């Protein structure tokens, strides 16, 4: 079997080339959208279609040129050729349907092997995305550099609503709406993110002299125990007196892990299994500057366990509850966790596993949506190295990796958790 890959600006052109070189008996094995960089800061890209086709070695040779032209004309008539990207995509879908109707994929088993249903569904998804944002693609009139920044932010996890708002606000702030170079646009986007994000931290002792009590809550597997150790270690290195408490008695390994960290840091550790024991442990640490409490992980969908944890913490002394979330989780899961853990009166958020995520924009979007202060981000297992105070500048740099130097600045820090941030 002869297999070849064709590249073209659209599906219609790809089909014409396949028919010309391989004939109408060719079978489409797969299609995909490919983007090639234009070399400008890694943002400017050009999209094209890559189609893989196969032809049985025993198949008849391609028909004469006249027939080829007629076939191409038929495909052209069945394709909706429009100027906009949305209509172009509709035309590509129509081309696939036309191929099926003409018998290019007549064998049902070959259709399944080619995965045409999946490819068609992928194209429908792209069409749905473009239709959903038709005001942007059709009416916004954004210049290429602004469009490239918008797409980069969406690709990196920023909600489309916020990404578009950021780009438009930057553009509207330019005299005459002229187009900036990419680096200038990224710098101004960083400034807007820096102004809009609500951050807090690092955790510090209270001015009253009483211990500041913080608990770390969150879903299972996000790294609460390691994060508790990192915070305690940083405070100890800064000369603060710290006490550690764990109420995660469900996992023996978690208790042993925290004990090991406590011994290395020379920090006292108490284990509490009941609200009364928690109160006693806090009382024992009355002379400390900060008390860090590690809790058992809870699924955001287990409302019974969440209610139980909320009751446990509320029955003890007054404390701040910091929600620990994985930045590697998808946006929907993060949003659900923030909503469902809300019954525990969340004071702030910590995002872990920044070294594992491909979408750091999720952190930014959730901050914009909720207005809950972001305290820390973590990026590894090392204690205490892999934790740092939340920095909007560094988060922006993570969106535009090649532009990190353009957005490094001193971040604005707030301690208020009232009200949502808006961009």
Q: What is the average per-residue pLDDT within 301-325?
A: 90
> Are 384 and 320 within one domain?
yes
What is the model's pLDDT at position 302?
A: 85
> Are 145 and 128 within one domain?
no
Whether 74 shows a pLDDT value over 70: the answer reads no
Higher pLDDT: 30 or 385? It is 385
Which position has the token pair 């879908």?
93
Q: What is the average per-residue pLDDT within 6-26?
A: 80
Q: How many distinct structural domains can be found in the chain?
A: 3
Higher pLDDT: 20 or 76? It is 20
- In this structure, is residue 414 part of a structural domain? no
> Are 128 and 143 within one domain?
no
> Are 52 and 81 within one domain?
yes
> Are 271 and 384 within one domain?
yes
> Are 289 and 384 within one domain?
yes
- Give the Cα separation of 145 and 159 in Å (integer): 19
What is the model's pLDDT at position 171?
A: 87
pTM: 0.64
- Give the Cα separation of 171 and 148 in Å (integer): 13
pLDDT band for position 31 (50/70/90)?
Answer: confident
Whether 19 shows a pLDDT value over 90: the answer reads no
> Are 350 and 224 within one domain?
yes
> Are 259 and 380 within one domain?
yes
> Are 245 and 375 within one domain?
yes
Whether 410 shows a pLDDT value over 80: the answer reads no
Higher pLDDT: 174 or 132? It is 174
Print the domain residue range for 184: 139-196
What is the model's pLDDT at position 49?
A: 79
Beta-bridge partner residues of 30: 52
Whether 294 shows a pLDDT value over 90: the answer reads yes
- Among candidate residues 150, 169, 196, the one where a domain is terminated: 196
Q: What is the average per-residue pLDDT within 116-129?
A: 51
3-state helix, strand, coil in the chain (%, to 5): 50, 15, 35
Which position has the token pair 């406590």?
262
For 148-170, b where at least 16 C-beta lie within 10 A, e where not — what string?
Answer: bbbebbbebbbbeebbbbbbeeb
pLDDT in tens, 188-231: 999 999 999 999 979 998 988 899 999 999 998 999 999 999 99
> Are 161 and 239 within one domain?
no
> Are 228 and 321 within one domain?
yes
Mean confidence (pLDDT) of the chain: 77
What is the model's pLDDT at position 44?
A: 56
Report the 10 Å Cβ neighbour count for 262. 20
Q: What percent of the chain has pLDDT over 90?
A: 38
CATH number at residue 383: 3.40.50.300
DSSP assignment string, 134-161: HIIIIIS---HHHHHHHHHHHHTT--HH
Which position has the token pair 């399944």?
112
What is the model's pLDDT at position 46?
A: 65
What is the model's pLDDT at position 102?
A: 54
- Among candidate residues 114, 132, 150, the one where a domain is terminated: 132
> Are 143 and 228 within one domain?
no
Whether 397 shows a pLDDT value over 60: the answer reads yes
- Give the Cα separation of 123 and 72 in Å (integer): 22
């Amino acid at each position: 079997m002869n297999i070849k890959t064709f590249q073209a600006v659209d599906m219609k052109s790809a089909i014409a080339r396949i028919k010309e070189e391989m004939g109408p008996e060719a079978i489409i094995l797969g299609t995909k959208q490919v983007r090639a960089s234009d070399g400008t800061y890694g943002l400017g890209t050009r999209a094209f279609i890559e189609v893989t086709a196969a032809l049985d070695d025993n198949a008849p040779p391609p028909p004469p040129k006249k027939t080829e032209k007629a076939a191409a004309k038929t495909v052209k008539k069945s394709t909706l050729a429009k100027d906009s990207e949305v209509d172009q995509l509709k035309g590509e879908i129509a081309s696939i349907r036309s191929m099926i109707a003409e018998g290019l994929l007549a064998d049902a088993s070959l259709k399944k092997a080619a995965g045409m249903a999946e490819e068609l569904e992928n194209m429908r998804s792209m069409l749905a995305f473009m239709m959903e944002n038709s005001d942007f693609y059709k009416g916004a009139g954004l210049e290429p550099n602004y469009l490239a920044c918008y797409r980069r932010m969406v690709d990196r996890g920023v909600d489309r609503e916020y990404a578009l708002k950021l780009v438009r606000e930057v553009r509207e702030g330019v005299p005459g709406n002229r187009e900036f170079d990419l680096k200038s646009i990224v710098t101004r986007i960083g400034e807007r993110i820096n102004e809009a994000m609500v951050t807090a931290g690092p955790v510090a002792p209270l001015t009253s002299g009483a211990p500041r009590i913080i608990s770390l809550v969150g879903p299972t597997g996000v790294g609460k125990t390691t994060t508790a150790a990192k915070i305690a270690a940083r405070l100890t290195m800064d000369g603060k007196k710290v006490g550690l408490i764990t109420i995660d008695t469900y996992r023996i390994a978690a208790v042993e892990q925290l004990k090991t960290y406590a011994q290395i840091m020379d920090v006292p550790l108490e284990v509490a299994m009941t609200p009364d024991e928690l109160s006693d442990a806090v009382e024992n640490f009355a002379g400390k500057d900060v008390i860090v409490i590690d809790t058992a992980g809870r699924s955001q969908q287990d409302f019974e366990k969440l209610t139980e944890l909320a009751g446990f913490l509320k029955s003890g002394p007054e404390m701040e509850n910091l929600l620990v979330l994985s930045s590697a989780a998808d946006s929907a899961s993060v949003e659900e966790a923030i909503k469902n853990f809300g019954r525990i009166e969340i004071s702030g958020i910590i995002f872990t596993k920044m070294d594992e995520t491909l979408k750091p924009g999720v952190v930014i979007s959730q901050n914009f949506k909720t207005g809950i202060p972001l305290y820390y981000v973590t990026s590894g297992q090392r204690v205490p190295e892999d934790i740092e105070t939340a920095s909007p500048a560094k988060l922006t740099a993570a969106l535009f990796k090649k532009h990190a130097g353009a957005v490094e600045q001193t971040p604005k820090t707030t301690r208020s958790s009232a009200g949502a941030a808006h961009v």
